[in-house]
């Protein structure tokens, strides 16, 4: 598959083609991170082309066709994904990539049946435990040769996130971003709010915001994953990184008293959440913050996409964030935060013959967490008196 020098050569080619194409993209910070990793994505696509792709030396594909399934449906992310595809095609002899984009929620809900059917050659998903879940079931293929070609571009933390339980590489990281508590500086200045550094300060601030007529914490859980992200942070702060990772890998039980304590602690702030949050999308939650209806919003950096989409530079300039407050435990010093990683991985070789026109299939994905309780359980816990 070639060495890291070949991977760098492909990345440089893509960068040159991108400049030559003069794409003039208006991208969010989330997309900038994604495009920063497109050399690795291009290398992965080149290595995982179907039988109709004529190859070459190293990891570079020449001509032929392949497909990419993507959950990047918001406008800026779609631009970023298309730019990667276009640059890859231009740098690799006109190799055509058929892009199939499906909305994020549907993609996640149907991923299991999708992988067992006839998925695209490459598809977006998640790194870490959610990737390992499918690797353990034989629904992903080791891509150590591809990883060896690009691993010099990544730290050991990234490498750990794309390794399966068998120690093999199943993915290529393409971007990452932390979660934090977002707020509008102008709203906080108007009311004299200050950043809370501990749990009691956070609750006191929520109470003050409520009296000021604001929704203290915007929360939107129609798709389920926002609640999972909140659980991650609370569990990391209350029980530490080791327990959290053991819980997600099945080494600890969800019935453990420490998990129960997470929900008890969580229940102390659910009264400050957006009304009818179970039916709201994350974009609607961001809109509450944008329109000065909510005081805070715990989410990923991509919340800025909604501010940018408003077309108001003034609104975007008011967006700021701070780390989730300490909870008064020994694990506060770890300063753990939720940071999902987008990656690429490959479908199983052993099951090729069970699919029409058996071809080598690959996947792009993002996985930070897995084996979380079902969405209904999370929603029930959040709404329970």
pLDDT value at residue 257: 97
Claim to verify: residue 83 and residue 213 sit in the same structural domain: no
pLDDT value at residue 266: 97
pLDDT value at residue 53: 40
**Residue 260 lies inside a defined structural domain of this protein:** yes
**Residue 296 lies inside a defined structural domain of this protein:** yes
CB 171 within 8 A of CB 127: yes
Q: Which domain holds residue 229?
A: 179-336
Stated as kind and residue range, the H or E segment containing 294 is strand 294-300
DSSP classification of residue 310: T
Claim to verify: residue 321 and residue 234 sit in the same structural domain: yes
Claim to verify: residue 74 and residue 164 sit in the same structural domain: yes
Mean pLDDT for back-to-back runs of 10 residues, the chain (385 residues): 39 42 38 37 48 40 77 82 87 86 81 79 78 83 86 86 89 82 98 98 99 98 90 94 87 95 97 97 96 97 88 93 94 69 47 30 32 34 35
The span from the CA of 323 to the CA of 238, in Å, is 15
Claim to verify: residue 126 and residue 171 sit in the same structural domain: yes
DSSP classification of residue 366: E
- Cβ atoms within 10 Å, residue 31: 25
Please give the structure tokens belonging to residue 201. 């300060």
**Residue 352 lies inside a defined structural domain of this protein:** yes
Claim to verify: residue 264 and residue 349 sit in the same structural domain: no
pLDDT value at residue 362: 31
Claim to verify: residue 73 and residue 208 sit in the same structural domain: no
Please give the structure tokens belonging to residue 317. 């300039």
pLDDT value at residue 10: 37
CB 195 within 8 A of CB 54: no
Burial of 225 (0-12, 13-18, 19+ CB in 10 A): buried
**Residue 372 lies inside a defined structural domain of this protein:** no
Tokens 């780390």 correspond to: 323
pLDDT value at residue 292: 98
CB 344 within 8 A of CB 171: yes
**Residue 382 lies inside a defined structural domain of this protein:** no
The span from the CA of 335 to the CA of 323, in Å, is 9
Claim to verify: residue 37 and residue 90 sit in the same structural domain: yes
* CATH number of the domain that residue 155 is part of: 3.40.190.10
**Residue 348 lies inside a defined structural domain of this protein:** yes
Helix axes 225-248, 375-383, angle to 10 degrees: 110
pLDDT value at residue 93: 83
User: Cα dihedral sign for 131, 229, 332, 183?
Assistant: positive
pLDDT value at residue 120: 80
The span from the CA of 14 to the CA of 126, in Å, is 24
**Residue 82 lies inside a defined structural domain of this protein:** yes
**Residue 266 lies inside a defined structural domain of this protein:** yes
The span from the CA of 4 to the CA of 130, in Å, is 27
Claim to verify: residue 137 and residue 246 sit in the same structural domain: no
Claim to verify: residue 326 and residue 349 sit in the same structural domain: no
Claim to verify: residue 232 and residue 263 sit in the same structural domain: yes
Claim to verify: residue 151 and residue 238 sit in the same structural domain: no
User: Cα dihedral sign for 162, 366, 263, 195?
Assistant: positive
pLDDT value at residue 168: 93
Contacts of 148 (CB under 8 A, 6+ apart): 1, 3, 4, 169
How many separate domains does the chain show? 2
Claim to verify: residue 102 and residue 228 sit in the same structural domain: no
The span from the CA of 377 to the CA of 257, in Å, is 16
């Amino acid at each position: 598959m070639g060495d890291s020098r070949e991977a760098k050569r492909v990345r440089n080619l893509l960068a040159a083609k991108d400049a030559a194409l003069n794409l003039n993209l208006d991208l969010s910070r989330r997309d900038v991170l994604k495009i920063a990793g497109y050399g690795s994505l291009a290398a992965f696509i080149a290595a995982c082309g179907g039988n109709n792709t004529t190859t070459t030396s190293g990891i570079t594909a020449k001509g032929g066709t392949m497909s990419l399934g993507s959950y990047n449906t918001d406008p800026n992310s779609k631009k970023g994904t298309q730019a990667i595809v276009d640059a890859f095609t231009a740098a690799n002899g006109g190799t055509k990539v058929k892009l199939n984009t499906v909305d994020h929620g549907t993609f996640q809900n149907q991923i299991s049946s999708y992988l067992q059917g006839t998925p695209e050659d490459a598809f977006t998903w998640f790194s870490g435990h959610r990737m390992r879940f499918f690797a353990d079931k034989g629904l992903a293929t080791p891509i150590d040769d591809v990883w060896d070609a690009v691993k010099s571009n990544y730290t050991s933390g990234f490498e750990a996130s794309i390794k399966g339980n068998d120690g093999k590489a199943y993915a290529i990281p393409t971007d990452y971003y932390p979660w934090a508590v977002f707020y509008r500086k102008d709203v906080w200045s108007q009311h004299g709010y200050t950043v809370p550094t501990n749990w009691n300060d956070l609750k006191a601030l929520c109470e003050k915001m409520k009296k000021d007529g604001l929704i203290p914490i915007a929360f939107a859980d129609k798709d389920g994953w926002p609640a999972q992200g909140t659980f991650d942070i609370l569990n990391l702060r209350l029980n530490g990184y080791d327990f959290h990772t053991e819980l997600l890998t099945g080494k600890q039980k969800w019935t453990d008293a420490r998990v129960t304590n997470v929900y008890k602690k969580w229940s102390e702030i659910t009264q400050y959440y957006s009304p009818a949050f179970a039916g709201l999308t994350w974009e609607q939650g961001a809109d509450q913050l944008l329109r000065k209806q909510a005081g805070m919003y715990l989410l990923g950096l991509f919340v800025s996409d909604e501010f940018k989409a408003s077309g108001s530079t003034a609104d975007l300039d008011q967006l700021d964030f701070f780390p989730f407050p300490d909870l008064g435990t020994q694990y506060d010093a770890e300063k753990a935060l939720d940071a999902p990683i987008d990656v690429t991985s490959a479908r199983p070789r052993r099951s090729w013959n069970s699919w029409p026109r058996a071809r080598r299939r690959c996947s792009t994905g993002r996985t930070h967490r897995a084996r979380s309780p079902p969405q209904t359980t999370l929603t029930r816990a959040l709404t329970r008196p």
